Amino acid sequence: VTGTGILNLYREFLPVTERTPFITLGEGETPLVRSSQISKLVECE
pTM for the predicted model, two decimal places: 0.41
d(CA 41, CA 30): 22
Q: Is the pLDDT of residue 2 over 70?
A: no
Residue type, 7: L
| Runs of H (alpha helix) within 1-45 | 5-9, 36-41
* Mean pLDDT estimate for the chain: 80
> Given this model, what pLDDT does residue 3 score?
59
